[in-house]
Amino acid sequence: MKYNPQFPTMVLPGLSEQPIPQFLGVTVRQPELAALQDLEGPLDKAMTAGARLDALPPGARVAVAVGSRGIADLPKVVRGVTDRLRARGLAPFIVPAMGSHGGGTAEGQVGMLDHLGVSEKSMGVPVLSSMETVDLGEVEPNVHAHIDRNAFEADGIVIVARVKAHTNFEAEIESGLHKMVSVGLGKAMGARNVHIYGRRGLAELMPRIAAQSLARARFVLAVAVVENSHHQLAVLEGVAPEDFPEADRRLLALSKAHAPSLPFAQADLLVVEYLGKDISGTGMDSKVIGREGFRGDPLASPYLNSIVALRTTEASAGNGTGVGNSDFIPLEMANGLDLMAMAFNALTSAGTIRVRIPPVLPTERDVVQGGLRLCWQPDVSRVRACVIRSTSALDRMLITRPLLEELQARGAVLDVWKSAHDLQFDARGVLETGL
């Protein structure tokens, strides 16, 4: 059940008089890692990793675990895996591996997969969703490993996972295979068991919980992917269960070396068109915006005086986790928030900062003006401001001239695709960027 708020239309006196600087459209330099030109060959090779998959008899039921992130070409990858399993005479089905996302309900998690293009219709195999888990025993006193019951009862488990930096901590193993095993397939209980201990839970307990699950459940393969800075698949490889630790470490290092980032260390205002659980577990990637690690842990860079967010992605289904890192949000976005999903997510992750709702203004134009009013730079001609589509889309952006001059001096601008212009808002005050 969704719980949507209804905020009043609050007009702040004088805000409409706040001038907005002109912006230019630019493409900026990001780390280069070649994109895969073809998925068929890498998928064929990935399915040959290890011997456990080959040992399954014809007709064996195989759970394919799929998470809640908007991985590039996710439907193609998942369909490629399930098609190859069926070609082996096996009986694959899909299970959501997304912890407490989707409001912590089986139906909500099916809905998230559907928004990501993964459904019974698109994949040609069943989707079995349940929040019920099997307890695989203690890792240490009061810390248990849990696994989705449908996956546990299958003859084999294949996970599809992206390896990348976690938004909250630094370690040799962060977001990837171990996290999918311990948190994703652990459902709400597994996510809670990891997050309730904060940094220690993720950095220390998560790999240990995953090791327990790998030892006691029928994992046969992981299909691990790494994206380049342009949100394209650059690596796709199969990993045998016994090789998960090595692969997580190696692929994480590769991902970090080629991760996109904002091309500046400081700005007065960042406007984010979309936040969402399919973009980042924190809605807006904390390591991109430089705000809020664990309960206020400082992040090194960038330093942004004000941040405003304008919309949630459709795939988030109202889960606006991340709004707490925005200084203002518009009325339409606020009234579309699913407070139950956000509160459950906060409870599971043991942190409420990102779900705290900031002041709500009538339109996106008002929100941009609000961000400018409190950005600590009253001279509009000197404002260092940037507009991005999301924290996972950082190739193209709108920036003000002071930022352009800095980036051009450092050789960070590849081209200027739109000259200086006023920001465009439609009749309802919705920002139109062309990003």
pLDDT tens-place string over residues 315-361? 888 999 999 999 999 999 999 999 998 998 888 777 788 899 999 99
Domain assignment present for residue 285? The answer is yes
Look up the domain containing 168 and give its range. Answer: 40-257
Question: pTM for this structure?
Answer: 0.84
Whether the bond between 302 and the residue before it is cis, its omega within 30 degrees of 0, is yes
How many residues would you count in the chain?
435
- In the predicted model, is pLDDT for residue 296 greater than 90? no
Q: Does residue 308 share a domain with residue 402?
A: yes
- Tell me, what's the pLDDT at 290? 85
Domain assignment present for residue 137? The answer is yes
Higher pLDDT, 202 or 137: 137
Q: Does residue 264 share a domain with residue 189?
A: no
Domain assignment present for residue 5? The answer is no
Domain assignment present for residue 122? The answer is yes
* Residue-averaged pLDDT of the chain: 92
Domain boundary among 222, 257, 292: 257
pLDDT tens-place string over residues 59-77? 999 999 999 888 999 999 9
Q: Does residue 322 share a domain with residue 205?
A: no
Q: For residue 107, what pLDDT band results from cuts at 50, 70 and 90?
A: very high
Domain boundary among 236, 257, 278: 257
pLDDT tens-place string over residues 168-195? 777 888 889 999 999 999 998 888 888 7
Distance CA 426, CA 365 (A): 9
The CA-based dihedral angle spanning residues 222, 182, 203, 246, taken in that order and rounded to the nearest 10 degrees? -20
Q: For residue 300, what pLDDT band results from cuts at 50, 70 and 90?
A: low
**Contact (CB, 8 A) for 221 and 55:** no
- Tell me, what's the pLDDT at 214? 96
- Count of domains for the chain: 2
| Residues whose CB falls within 8 Å of the CB of residue 246, separated by 6 or more in sequence, listed in order | none
Domain assignment present for residue 294? The answer is yes
Mean pLDDT within 99-107: 85
Q: Does residue 66 share a domain with residue 176?
A: yes
Distance CA 331, CA 366 (A): 10
Helix axis angle, 206-216 to 187-195, nearest 10°: 140
Q: Does residue 87 share a domain with residue 158?
A: yes
- Tell me, what's the pLDDT at 416? 96
pLDDT tens-place string over residues 120-150? 999 999 999 999 999 999 998 888 999 999 9
CATH value at residue 63 = 3.40.50.11440
- In the predicted model, is pLDDT for residue 38 greater than 80? yes
Domain boundary among 257, 281, 306: 257
- Tell me, what's the pLDDT at 384? 97
Q: Does residue 295 share a domain with residue 170?
A: no
Domain assignment present for residue 10? The answer is no
